[in-house]
């Protein structure tokens, strides 16, 4: 077992009608983003709605995210 040099982080984000995992350092709205499953899209230009958070979880992102550390949207520093 090897320890990664840096902790890879991710967060969930509703994108294109699926809940994808995106790299944890991606925060800006309306900017290009590549999800963990390799889907290239654009960050929403608004706060995700409650309905959007209910979209299906992307299975490929779910698998990939197991190797990542989850960070909350409002993590304290
Ligand atoms: Zn995905």
Taking only the tens place, the pLDDT of each residue in 25-68 is 877 899 999 999 999 999 999 999 999 999 999 999 999 999 99
Ligand 1 mean position, distance from CA 38 (Å): 7
Boundaries of every domain in the chain: 9-63
Ligand 1 mean position, distance from CA 5 (Å): 25
CB 32 within 8 A of CB 42: yes
pLDDT at 4: 56
pLDDT at 12: 95
Ligand 1 mean position, distance from CA 70 (Å): 15
Ligand 1 mean position, distance from CA 34 (Å): 9
Q: Which fold has domain 9-63?
A: SH3 type barrels. (2.30.30)
Q: What's this model's pTM, rounded to 2 decimal places?
A: 0.82
pLDDT at 1: 59
Strand 9-15 relative to strand 69-70, pairing:
parallel
Ligand 1 mean position, distance from CA 4 (Å): 23
The span from the CA of 12 to the CA of 55, in Å, is 11
């Amino acid at each position: 077992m090897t320890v990664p040099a840096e902790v890879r982080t991710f967060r969930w984000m509703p994108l294109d009608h699926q809940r994808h995992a995106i790299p944890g350092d991606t925060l800006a709205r309306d900017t290009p983003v590549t999800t963990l499953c390799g889907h290239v899209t654009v960050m929403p230009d608004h706060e995700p709605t409650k309905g959007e958070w209910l979209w299906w979880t992307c299975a490929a992102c779910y698998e990939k995210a197991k190797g990542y550390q989850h960070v909350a949207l409002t993590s304290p520093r």
